[in-house]
Every structure is written in structure tokens, then in C-alpha cells.
Amino acid sequence: MSEEKNYELWLDNYFFKPNFWQKCLAFVLLPLSVLYAFFAILNTFFRKKIVFKKPVISVGNLSFGGNGKT
């Protein structure tokens, strides 16, 4: 088997055939994710909307300094 096939097989097993510990971790984290989703929804309903007097331009994905590229 080539190295690429081994990697594909590992990915397939990791994501589609979870082992015992992965299932346990998912079971433990499920209540936390539900709680997080609940507070995120509450935040969207109770957040105050801000209206600016002047137009605002939002620019995303800017990085300054070292951003890890070589």
C-alpha cells in the first residue's frame, strides 16, 4: 500500500468508525455543546443593535507581522 492509501484509510477509520474513547469524548462534550448553542441563541436575541452615524467598512482576514508563511 502506498503512503497516500494508508492516510486515506486512517482518515476513513478516524471519522467514520470512531473507537471507544472517541465515543466517550463525544458523549461527554454533547451537553456542553448544547449549552453553548443555547447561550449563543440567547446572545443573538438580546444583543443591542448599534447604528453608526457614518458608513462602516469591515475588512477581514488581515494579518500583520509573522503569520506563519515561509
Which band of pLDDT confidence, cut at 50, 70 and 90, is reported for residue 70? low
pTM of the entire structure?
A: 0.53
Which triple of cell numbers denotes residue 53? Answer: 452615524
The reported pLDDT for the residue numbered 60 is 83
Which band of pLDDT confidence, cut at 50, 70 and 90, is reported for residue 21? very high
In which region does residue 68 sit, left (phi positive, over 0), alpha (psi from -120 to 50) or beta (all else)? left
Q: Are 16 and 8 a contacting pair, CB within 8 Å?
A: no
Signed CA dihedral, 26, 32, 33, 34: sign only: positive
Amino acid at 69: K
Least confident of 23-27, 36-40, 42-46, 57-61: 57-61
The reported pLDDT for the residue numbered 1 is 57
